[in-house]
Amino acid sequence: MRILIDIGHPAHVHMFKCFASEMQDKGHNVLFTCRDKEFEVNLLTKYGFHFVNFGKKANSRLGKVFDLIKFNWKEWRTAQKFKPDIFLSHGSITASHVAWIKRKPSIAFEDTFNMEQIKLWKPFVTNILTSMYEHPLNSSKVIKYRGYNELLYLHPNHFQKDQTIFEKLNIKMGEKYVVLRFVSWNATHDKGHSGISYENKCRAVEEFSKYAKVYISSEGELPINLEKYRMPLSAENMHAVMANACLIFGESATMVTEGVMLGVPGIYLDNTGRLYTYDIELKYNMCFNYSESEDDQIKAIEKGVDLITNNTKDFITDTYKRLFEDNIDVTAFLVWFVENYPQSATITRENQNNSEFWNQFK
């Protein structure tokens, strides 16, 4: 089988890396397509995957329109040479369009439910994989699975904590530290968002620094007074860093959710929020959602101090265990799903509420 995976964000490399490795080990051919945004190229290179880089993305609205045409053309041209049997992505407009043109099946993961973007790719995909929680995407194409996207790569079957990270960070073994994540707010779904104010970024650093070391991961430049807190290690070390943190705090739903999958509580600030972060808060009480309002920013910082200073180890251990009792190794499911497609789509839909069916993927 020849599988083309389109990447739109660094997190998508992580999403599909375990799947791609397993499929290659089974003799399948996998090719990634990507844009030169943040760390995608570095990550794909590090993991040794074959990929085609489509170049930089534009920031302006008009530029993004031209990008859609340009990237569709490059994806089509790549597909002409690679001849994929199936397309895979996290809601890729480009992959869905080209798969439809070439009359090939396409499978898209979805968890953000940004309907403005979904309208551009939903009519063209064959199936959409989502988590079990309630969401607005009503379609016969939707197939729900028991898990979260982050369990594609952070399930214990695929990820183990690395204690050498303390040495790499040049701190004492077991020393408390917090990871703060600030985003650039340049994505199409970021319109109308401003994020955490400069004053409250400084306040968070000041308050958290009283009880733990602080590291900042930022998409953009940092003010001079915060630059000294920037994460000193490269992107491929981020999950190892996060796994030993005592808190993940910031504007990235993905990183906060990743922290929870690693047994680390998180605080997420966003006016619209994400259904999966609300779901995790409701079910596991390890992710805490706040808006971007001034009042909520202050409350989020206070909650962060509370999580850092209170001993929550026993609670987190019990919750972490329950998380993996409830959910599956999503990579194991995806390998089976793709190898047995399209019959697997029918089988999964028929067994949606069958626990024995899902237990085979744990």
Sign of CA dihedral 32, 36, 42, 45: positive
Which DSSP symbol is given to 277?
H
Q: How many residues does the chain have?
A: 362
Domains of the chain, start order? 2-156+329-359 (3.40.50.2000), 165-323 (3.40.50.2000)
State the burial class of residue 130 (Cβ atoms within 10 Å of its Cβ: 0-12, 13-18, 19+).
buried
CA angle 291, 296, 298 (to 5 degrees): 140
CA dist 293 → 28, 193, 200, 286, 298 (Å)? 49, 11, 11, 21, 9
Q: Name the E strands within the chain.
A: 2-6, 29-34, 51-53, 86-89, 106-109, 127-131, 142-145, 177-182, 213-218, 247-250, 266-269, 287-290
Is the distance from CB of 22 to CB of 2 less than 8 angstroms?
Answer: no
Q: Residue 26, Cβ neighbours under 10 Å: how many?
A: 10
- Tell me which of 112-126, 173-187, 268-282 is least confident: 173-187
Is the distance from CB of 6 to CB of 89 less than 8 angstroms?
Answer: yes
Residue 332: strand, helix, or coil: helix
Q: Which two tokens stand for residue 19?
A: 């799947």
| Of 180, 254, 259, 176, nearest in space to 217 by CA | 180
Average pLDDT of the residues in 112-125: 90
Residue type, 141: K
* Average pLDDT along the chain: 92
- Tell me which of 3-7, 64-68, 147-151, 203-207 is least confident: 64-68
Q: Which two tokens stand for residue 16?
A: 């599909």
- Rounded to whole angstroms, how far apart are CA atoms 60 and 156? 40
Average pLDDT of the residues in 87-106: 97
Residues 6+ apart with CB under 8 A from 279: 131, 133
Secondary structure element (H or E) that encloses residue 358, with its range: helix 355-359
| Of 325, 354, 338, 355, nearest in space to 18 by CA | 338
Helical segments of 169-293, H only: 198-208, 224-227, 238-243, 253-261, 275-284
- Rounded to whole angstroms, how far apart are CA atoms 217 and 248? 10
Q: Which two tokens stand for residue 224?
A: 């001079």
Average pLDDT of the residues in 192-214: 91
Residue type, 162: D
pLDDT at residue 241, rounded to an integer: 97
pLDDT > 80? residue 289: yes
Residue 224: strand, helix, or coil: helix
Go through 35-73 and write b for each residue having 16 or more CB atoms within 10 A of its CB, e for each that does not. bebebbbebbeebebebbbbeebeeeeeeeeebeebbbe
Secondary structure element (H or E) that encloses residue 323, with its range: helix 313-326
Q: Over the stretch 34-55, which tens digit does the pLDDT of each residue have?
A: 998 778 999 999 999 999 999 9
pLDDT at residue 216, rounded to an integer: 97
pLDDT at residue 61, rounded to an integer: 78
Which DSSP symbol is given to 56?
P
**Adjacent-strand bridge partners of 17:** none
Residue 81: strand, helix, or coil: helix
Say what the pTM is.
Answer: 0.91
Residue type, 186: N
Average pLDDT of the residues in 205-234: 93
| Of 155, 174, 331, nearest in space to 258 by CA | 155
